[in-house]
Structure 1
């Protein structure tokens, strides 16, 4: 592994920090400065109801300036052996009001946020037998609509580009590869 030296946090924001580091290029042996976005890890979850429907959420995304159909997810708040699972349980509850037995939540995969420019990882889970247990608890600025779809409908939404968030599409793709 190449050694990254002289890390500098250049521009911190609440979501990520623009940072730089120096690295020696293998062919030329020259040192070059690279820029990355440091961020906490992310999680998302494919929530499956007892009847087999998949729970999606529709929410406005400022980056594209329009609604996006996704699965619940968010930023991992703390570090530790169960921090991703704890964050999945929290995001599912806050964004949808749904929950399940934690033993029915399984890790699907771990993806790089974007290996060219992000330092973090995105963890995808599936939660079986989710059901509504209480009111939603949106973060400030969130306005989420819950959408229940059959697996067949979700596959169509993936194929026609309606579900276009790459981390959500990857999680759903892995889920369908495993579940059929």
Structure 2
């Protein structure tokens, strides 16, 4: 990988920072300035209840100006070993009030936020045997409704394009691919 030089933070926000850097392209040898969004890593979790239902959330998303059917997720607050799992556990509890034993969490996959423009990674987990144990603790500005669905219903929602957040759809797709038929 070529060295990225002259990093500049151009516009910081609470969610990401627009930044630029210079790089010599590996094949053409041309030097070019690129713009990226620096962001903390993300996490999401496919929660499966003891009865085998999948817990989804419906939440308002400002980018599209409407509700989005998703799985719980959010930003990884701290970096370091175990921080992604800790964040998955926290996000599930805060957004839904559901929890399970740490040993019931399994890493499904690690995806790039978007390799063309984001610097971060998105970690997807599955949590088995989740149960309602806590009151929700929404972040300021969150507007969430909990939706329980059978796996077949979630598959159909994916196929019909009703789960349109790419990281959530990818996590659910990997989850279903890992299921024994």
- Normalising by the residue count of structure 2, what TM-score does the alignment of the two structures yield? 0.98
Matched residue, 1:25:
25
Matched residue, 2:65:
65
1:100-111 equivalent positions in 2, closer than 5 A:
100-111=100-111
User: Secondary structure, in 3 states, of the residue corresponding to 2:119?
Assistant: coil
User: Secondary structure, in 3 states, of the residue corresponding to 1:11?
Assistant: strand
CA deviation digits over 1:22-53, x for unaligned, max 9? Answer: 00123432211000000000000000000000
Compute the RMSD of aligned alpha carbons: 0.7
User: Secondary structure, in 3 states, of the residue corresponding to 1:156?
Assistant: helix
Matched residue, 1:4:
4
Matched residue, 2:156:
156
- Normalising by the residue count of structure 1, what TM-score does the alignment of the two structures yield? 0.98
Q: Aligned partners of 2:140 and 2:122: how far apart in 1? A: 23
Matched residue, 1:89:
89
The 4+ residue runs of structure 1 with deviation greater than 3 A are none
Q: Which runs of 5+ in 2 are unaligned?
A: none
1:136-155 equivalent positions in 2, closer than 5 A:
136-155=136-155
Q: Which runs of 5+ in 1 are unaligned?
A: none
1:103 deviation in Å?
A: 0.3
